[in-house]
Amino acid sequence: MFSVKLSVLHIFIILWRYYTSTGQICFVHPRKFLVTVSEWTRSIGRRKTKVRMPEIQLGAHTVRSHGVKVARTHMHDWIILLLLIVIEVILNVIEPFHRFVGEDMMTDLKYPMKDNTVPFWAVPMLAIMLPLFVILVYYFIRKDVYDLHHAILGLLFSVLITGVITDAIKDAVGRPRPDFFWRCFPDGKGVFDPVTKDVMCTGIKSVIKEGHKSFPSGHTSWSFAGLGFLALYLSGKIRVFDRQGHVAKLCIIFLPLLIAALVGISRVDDYWHHWQDVFAGGLLGLTVSSFCYLQFFPAPYEVDGWGPHAYFQMLAESRNVNQSNGLNVQQAELESVYVDSQHCRELSRVNTHDSSPILEGTNGRMGY
């Protein structure tokens, strides 16, 4: 006895296929029919399993298995990153615009020179290395090279685009820093042109050059570019906007933004920037980081906000391929059923011819 779980609809489809292909119902041996039906239903189950396979799979897409493929796909993006680095270096080398600074303007530019509370080397650590560390930790947990690659690419684009825009504006505007007087006149004695009344600085050239780069704040823009990207990245991963009302998730998201804000405040406290410089730098960094994040990831409030666009595109393509393969297999099985039915009909004719001449004559008169 064969126990086969088959719906009435599937049996009807098979019998109808037999009838439409042969013109008659082929009476095959029950055992053979049940075996054929059983194999067909099992193949359907296998195809359904294959269609459902492209789901969220931990460890399915690692650096070793898909890293080279993903990197090659975005090779032009990495080339653009290298060009941005070259542009950033050039912008730091060229001389900024020397804005006119009269004697009456020095009143707001006589703040004392102080050391940086947040040194220059600490900015890349906060804006790049800290988000990169979080991204790598998530990769070791998730094992998703798509997320790793696009997060790193988005982070670097966010920081470098922000840096290029910031330094380009710095060089073009040439706004003096709040401590410009002491940069220009280290001895405290102001010297001005007798005709134009412009400053005639006597200080160190490199210090004076840096004194013309107040707007916007580079520390602030870089910090908000990197830490703002990190905040968006974390908001998608921990699903802050899942409508569950977990305020603790918001505290995690606000922490990188708070660090970036404190960096900006330190620039005002150190008299390296005016408050307008810090405000503009923070706004610039957040804007660029948002654009760069949305270029690679869905918005954090969306259902699929936890993963990159490329990952879901890959799943969709895999699902379409599996569905196409399933349809091809189903067509091949139907053709196999048709061939079996033809073979069955031929065997039936041979058996009738050998066993019953009367039936042969009857069939001949009926035109078969």
Residues 95 and 241 in one domain: yes
Query: How many folded domains does the chain comprise?
Result: 2
Q: What is the mean pLDDT of residues 282-300?
A: 94
232 lies in some domain: yes
Residue 144 — φ and ψ, nearest 5°? -120, 105
The pLDDT of residue 367 is: 43
Residues 259 and 330 in one domain: no
Residue 98, sorted as left (phi over 0), alpha (psi -120 to 50) or beta, turns out to be: beta
The pLDDT of residue 156 is: 96
Q: Taking 50 as the threshold, does the pLDDT of residue 59 lie above it?
A: no
Residues 105 and 127 in one domain: yes
More confident residue, 329 or 153: 153
Q: What is the mean pLDDT of residues 280-293?
A: 96
312 lies in some domain: no
Residues 302 and 357 in one domain: no
Residues 331 and 201 in one domain: no
Residues 14 and 152 in one domain: no
Q: Taking 50 as the threshold, does the pLDDT of residue 365 lie above it?
A: no
273, 274, 309, 343: which one is catalytic? Answer: 273
- Kindly state the percentage of the chain with pLDDT values over 70: 65
3 lies in some domain: no
Residues 217 and 343 in one domain: no
Residue 198 — φ and ψ, nearest 5°? -80, 160
Q: Taking 60 as the threshold, does the pLDDT of residue 281 lie above it?
A: yes
Tokens of 272: 């390296």
58 lies in some domain: no
- Residue 228's alpha-carbon distances to 131, 171, 221, 248, 297, in angstroms, are 10, 25, 10, 18, 14
261 lies in some domain: yes
Residues 282 and 356 in one domain: no
- The 10s digit of each residue's pLDDT in 301-344 is 887 777 777 666 766 766 666 555 555 555 555 555 445 555 55
Residues 253 and 109 in one domain: yes
Residues 136 and 282 in one domain: yes
**Is there a catalytic annotation at residue 273?**
yes
**Is there a catalytic annotation at residue 246?**
no
pTM to 2 decimal places: 0.69
- The 10s digit of each residue's pLDDT in 68-79 is 666 677 788 999
Residues 98 and 196 in one domain: yes
61, 219, 246, 274: which one is catalytic? Answer: 219
Q: Where a domain ends, among 258, 282, 307?
A: 307
More confident residue, 90 or 18: 90
Q: Among candidates 276, 162, 177, 273, which has minimal Cα distance to 224? A: 162
Domain membership of residue 352 as a residue range: 8-52+317-366
168 lies in some domain: yes
Mean pLDDT of the chain, nearest integer: 78
Please say whether the dihedral angle defined by the alpha carbons of residues 332, 335, 339 and 341, taken in this order, is positive or negative.
positive
- The 10s digit of each residue's pLDDT in 21-49 is 554 445 444 555 555 555 655 655 554 44
32 lies in some domain: yes
Residues 158 and 236 in one domain: yes
145 lies in some domain: yes
